[in-house]
Structure formats: C-alpha cells, structure tokens
Structure 1
Amino acid sequence: MNDDLKEESCWGMLVDLESYGRHGDTKHDYKIISYEDAKTQYKEHMHASHGMLYAKNDVVLWNLYNTKAAVLMQMRFDGLLGFPGGLVDPGENPVEGLNREMHEEIALDLNKHSFNEENHVVTFLHDKKKLVLHFYIKEVTMDEFRGIEDKCTQAHEHGIETLGSIRPPLFTMGDNFRGFPAFLSNQFAGNAKEELLCGLVHTKLFTREEIEHVVELTENFKANKSI
C-alpha cells in the first residue's frame, strides 16, 4: 500500500481535513492579515475560528509563583493542544462559527458568554493551505471561569473531538524550565501556540519581552535536553 493510500485509510471521512491543524506548522507558515481582508480578499478560503477564555487570578502558589490568570485550552482528539473552536461552516460568519463550536466543544452558555466582533484579536493566513484563522479573546470572572470548566464534560464533543480542558501554568519555576516553558515544549495544533503567546501579550498578562524570555527558555531546553 503506498503512502497516500495509507494516509487516506487512517483518516477515513476526515481525509479532506487532514492538513488543517497539523503539528508540523510553524509560526513562519502564517502571516497576519486584517479582519476585513480576510472577509473580502480571502473569503473563498477555508476559515476557522478559535477563542481564548481567561480570568485574571492573582493567587500565589506556595508563596512562590504568581499564577497571573486562568486560561482555558484543551487536549484535542489528535493528542495536540489547542483552543476551543474549529472550521466555519458554509453560511456562517467567523463569530457565528466560533460560538457554535464553543457550545459543541465546551458547552459554553451562549446566553451568558457568547463571543462578538469586539472580541476579535488577530487573523492569520496560511496561504499554502488557503486557510484563514480568526482568534478571539473574552475575559470572564474567576467564578465564571470555574463554572465554564465544570461544564466542559457536558459538551456534545467531550470525549470525541475534545478530551478535556487544561490551564497553562503561567509561571516559571526555579530551574528555568518547569512551568510555562515546559508547557510550551508540548505539541500544539496549527498555530495555537502563537495564538496563546499573542493572547497573553494582548491581555497584558505578559509583556512582549517576558514572552520572548519564556520562549528562549523553552528553546534552550530543547537544545540542551536537560534541566
């Protein structure tokens, strides 16, 4: 059996979507475009929308590490980390697609926490794949965040497309790896890692310099393979 047939047999009915969300994508595969250009010049491309829910949280763990905030990410069916969301269906706009996916994947109560156009932060283009990715961010209270987490297991796609919610640890421990740098060494779907880093700067939870430092710590570990 040749490689193409092996690939198709493994993906079955999902074979047409196989290239989206691959872990082999890098930040260099994506460029930032305007929201308006995405909806006009690239309207024939495949579009996807993802959302970051977060709550500020100043709890200090063990009198050492400021947790900064709770951010909701998830383990996907393919073993990669990402944000809730997905492909926009024909006839939907990016926000409508995001809200539908949020309800399906984490049982988000759209009467209380639906996303809108004002929550849009950045749009990326993967020209080779003809894929446009819209990223949105919404702040909630810590109590609301816990309630959203609790409901995730009630979602229609829980145990199917999504295998559980996770919070990235937003602190770095004394060995300069465990904590956030270690989290960033995981495998992420598509450009979810870049979305996370962009989101943390946008929300002012991190400065750009702080993000660059954390990324440098992650890369140093990968290069040295030791803590």
Structure 2
Amino acid sequence: MASGQLSRAEALVCSDCRHACHVMLYSDTKTRLFGKIPIKHIILMQMRFDGLLGFPGGLVNLSEETLEAGLGRELLEELGVALPISVEDHVDSCHAPASSPSSSRLITHFYVKKMEEEQIREVESAAASTATDHGQEVLGMVRVPLYITKGGGGLSSFLSHSFIGNARSQLVDALLRFNLVTPKELHKALTHSLKTNMHTTEDLQAALALTEAKRKRF
C-alpha cells in the first residue's frame, strides 16, 4: 500500500482523527468543443472559497453519521441536490498531505460516482441556483477539460492551477483508474503543466516587482 494510504477499515478505527469525504462526479458525453474536439467526459470540480480547486464534500462526524451519509449531507449543501453515495463508490482513504491547511490528523476519503449526462447538467444547474453554499463556501462548479489543444491548453492548463490538499493527485489517479484519458495523454498534459507553472512563476515575480515599486512610491 502506498505511503499515506489506508484501507477503509484502518481509516474507520482511527477515532482520534478527523475525516473528510469528497466525490468526483462524472458522465460520458458525445459533445464536441467547437464541433470538432471530443470532450469525452464531463467531470465536476468546484472553485472553493479560498480560491483553490477541489471536489465537492467536506468534514464528516463519524460519531453521528456514516462516511456516505456525511458526504451526502455535504453534497446537498454544496450542490443543492441529494445524491446517493454508496460504499461501492469509495476509491481510497489516505492521510491528508502534511502541508495542507488544517491537515493535522485528517483522513480524506475519496469517492467516484458515474452519472448520466442529464443528471450532471441538473447538478450544475442546482449548484448555481438552490445550493445554500453557492457564492459562499463554493464559488462555482467547473468542468475538467480532458482534451489538449494545439497550444497546450485544456487539461494541461487546468492541471497547472492550485488545488486543495491532495485533490490534484486524486484527479490524476481517477483519470487513469477509470480510463478517462490515456497514460500518454496525461503524461503530455502534466509535462506541459510544468512548463506553464514556470511561466506563471515568472509572471508572478514580475507582478510582485511592479507592486513593490508602487508600494515604495506611496
């Protein structure tokens, strides 16, 4: 078992740990970007209140609810719809990265649930209209682009954004585990993402220098 990974049974007996559950909702689709580029699958993530990308879900209190019941409660708050999550949807459990905010003794449980495209669209609609957390803890749902454009956009650019905790690694693992992209495609996207991050660092350094110059003037 990989470092940090836990079996479901091992995770559940850790009574002095906090537990958080998140889920990747996805569907197949035959739609094409610009009528040419196959989108293949719709995968939902969300922009969080802290500006980081993550999956729907949150903390669960095992003294009052099961992992799946707690995740369902969080989804109702964040997505505005009640979605049944089962043990069969569970993918893995692991200790949160030590560098994550509030990661002390936190175990994250990751689920993946496949839905019909129409159901995914209903979730997107409800998340923006009836969810109690919309505009507060959740700033909006986003789709993960699985294609790579000629200029290196799409999945490459998406993976270069900032993710909460282990959400990026959960996404990458799920893409491979459920054959949503090929290893070759994902390798290409990640390679380009590294280059994008280098340019982003340069841009941020330039912006910081400009800000510092302005700050000194005032």
Partner SS, residue 47 of structure 1: strand
Residue correspondences, number: 193
Q: Partner residue of 2:216?
A: none
2:88 aligned with 1:118? yes
1:46 to 18, 38, 41: 18
1:83 to 34, 55, 67: 55
2:190 aligned with 1:215? yes
1:132 to 107, 117, 137: 107
- Percent identity (aligned): 34
Equivalent AA in structure 2 for residue 108 of structure 1:
V
Q: What is the alpha-carbon distance in structure 2 between the residues aligned to residue 211 and residue 131 of structure 1?
A: 29
Q: Partner residue of 1:55?
A: 27
Summarize the alignment of residues 129-208 of structure 1 with structure 2, pairs less than 5 Å apart: 129-153=104-128, 154-176=130-152, 178-208=153-183
Q: Partner residue of 2:209?
A: none
CA-to-aligned-CA distance 1:63-110 (integer Å, 9 cap, x gap): 44221111111111111111110011242221111111000110123x
Partner SS, residue 72 of structure 1: strand
CA-to-aligned-CA distance 1:146-179 (integer Å, 9 cap, x gap): 1111111211111111111110111111022x11
CA-to-aligned-CA distance 1:123-159 (integer Å, 9 cap, x gap): 1213752110000011111111111111112111111
Which stretch of the first structure deviates more once superposed, 140-149 or 214-223? 214-223
Which contiguous aligned blocks of 4+ residues in structure 1 show a shift greater than 6 angstroms? none
2:76 to 78, 103, 113: 103
Q: Partner residue of 1:16?
A: none
The structural deviation recorded for 1:34 is 1.3
CA-to-aligned-CA distance 1:157-207 (integer Å, 9 cap, x gap): 11111111110111111022x111111111111111111111212221123
Equivalent AA in structure 2 for residue 207 of structure 1:
T
CA spacing shift, 1:210–1:127, aligned 2, 3 Å: closer
Confirm or deny: 8 A CA contact 2:96 2:166 kept in the other structure: no
Q: Partner residue of 1:74?
A: 46
Partner SS, residue 186 of structure 1: coil
Q: CA RMSD in A?
A: 2.0
CA spacing shift, 1:33–1:175, aligned 2, 3 Å: same
Equivalent AA in structure 2 for residue 179 of structure 1:
G
CA spacing shift, 1:207–1:34, aligned 2, 3 Å: farther
Confirm or deny: 8 A CA contact 2:21 2:59 kept in the other structure: yes
Q: What is the alpha-carbon distance in structure 2 between the residues aligned to residue 159 and residue 211 of structure 1?
A: 32
Give the TM-score of the pair, scaled to structure 2: 0.82
Runs of at least 5 residues in structure 2 that lack an aligned partner in the other structure: 99-103, 203-218
Give the TM-score of the pair, scaled to structure 1: 0.79
Equivalent AA in structure 1 for residue 12 of structure 2:
K
Partner SS, residue 159 of structure 1: coil
Equivalent AA in structure 1 for residue 80 of structure 2:
A
